[in-house]
Amino acid sequence: MTDFLVIRLHPAAPVDPGAPPPPPPATGFAAYLTGLVVTVYARSFEHPTGLGVPLGSASYDDPDPSKNTIVQDLSLASPIGLKSVATAVVPISVPPGSPDYNDIVVSVTRGGKRIVDRSVNYDVSVYRSPPNPSPLPPDGFSYATLEPVALYLTLPDPHIGVDPSRYVDLPQDGSPPNFSDLQTAVNKVLEDDPGGSPDITRLTPDQCTHIANEILFNRDIDPLPQPPGGHTVDDLYTAGGSASDTDRQRFESDLTTYYTIHGTKATVLAKYIYSMSAALACASTSHTTQKIGFSFPILPGLAPEGATIAEATVVISQ
């Protein structure tokens, strides 16, 4: 008996299903899958970040299509054809002594580059196959009907020019972002910001807040909300337009939510950036300092009242 995790992949907004190659290039949602690899890690008390024990992976671009383990969904019911959803089937291989895999973290790359992912999942459902259907038939209909689903995963548009080195997101569980990823993103923001090239070890709180907003208000990854129902802004705010007051209020609510969520996350990220700057300053000082000293009283609390307390100084040199 083989265990699998079934992961449904979908775009952030409705798109045309498109067509996979050949001939290249893929179009529509099929292009979202090109170069895609989904890797699952176990999350446990021993590995709270979840990146300690890889359990398995699924990929899309095998030269032999029969070996793909990410497949675009296919409906045989009306309307027949490809859908803008794909299914990744990750076979689970647990090393001896490894933690249970019901709590997982998912890492997603496309074309070898890590793409945005916020997926930390606890107590996921596992697909346990009946005897001898392994490997599962990698076709769009078979994969699309697999249940239970472990999780749903949103894929960003591959046509958007997102620079992954300039973006870092806050983990959903409240843990700090990866230090190396954060340092890379901060350096990239400072490199791109007009006139912005301060010493990364001496960032002020205001500079940290500015950098955090630059990172998180990424309109490529999280574009502004659009008027609902296919309306335009003209429809919402022109008297006698086709949009209703409900449409306008929903649009305004979506905008408020957008700025509130991103602003709150930026405030949190700014604190991590300030901590990173302080840590780098401490590391720099440690590398350049030749000696340090500590002064402390001798036998504190034992001297008579009013007596002078002698002090000793210990100096440590490299």
Q: Is 26 exposed, middle or buried (0-12, 13-18, 19+ CB in 10 A)?
A: buried
pLDDT at 252: 95
**Which pair of structure tokens corresponds to residue 54?**
């890889």
How sure is the predictor about 273, in pLDDT bands with cuts at 50, 70 and 90? Answer: very high
Which amino acid is present at 112?
G
| Percent helix / strand / coil, the chain, rounded to 5 | 30, 25, 45
Q: Which residue has the higher pLDDT, 265 or 51?
A: 265
Q: Where are the beta strands (DSSP E) in the chain?
A: 3-11, 36-42, 53-59, 70-75, 81-91, 104-110, 113-114, 120-121, 127-128, 151-155, 291-297, 311-317
The 3-class secondary structure across 205-261, one letter per residue, is: HHHHHHHHHHHHCCCCCCCCCCCHHHCCHHHHHCCCCCCCHHHHHHHHHHHHHHHHH
pLDDT at 100 over 90: no
pLDDT at 41 over 60: yes
Contact 201, 280 (CB under 8 A): yes
Contact 55, 90 (CB under 8 A): yes
User: How much of the chain exceeds pLDDT 70, in percent?
Assistant: 77
How sure is the predictor about 108, in pLDDT bands with cuts at 50, 70 and 90? Answer: confident
- Of 218, 214, 208, give the one whose Cα is nearest residue 272: 208
pLDDT at 284 over 90: no
pLDDT at 158 over 90: no
pLDDT at 118 over 60: no
288-314 residue pLDDT tens: 877 777 776 666 666 666 665 566 667
Q: Is residue 165 helix, strand or coil?
A: helix
How sure is the predictor about 133, in pLDDT bands with cuts at 50, 70 and 90? Answer: very low
Mean pLDDT in residue range 265-294: 89
Residue linked to tokens 């170069």: 35
Residues 6+ apart with CB under 8 A from 271: 208
- Of 213, 88, 108, 220, give the one whose Cα is nearest residue 161: 220
- Alpha helices per DSSP H over 109-199: 140-144, 179-192
CA–CA separation, 257 vs 261, rounded Å?
6
- Of 130, 30, 41, 48, give the one whose Cα is nearest residue 92: 41
Q: How would you label 274-305 residue by residue, b for 16+ Cβ within 10 Å and e otherwise?
A: bebbeebeeeeeeeeeeeeeeeeeeeeeeeee
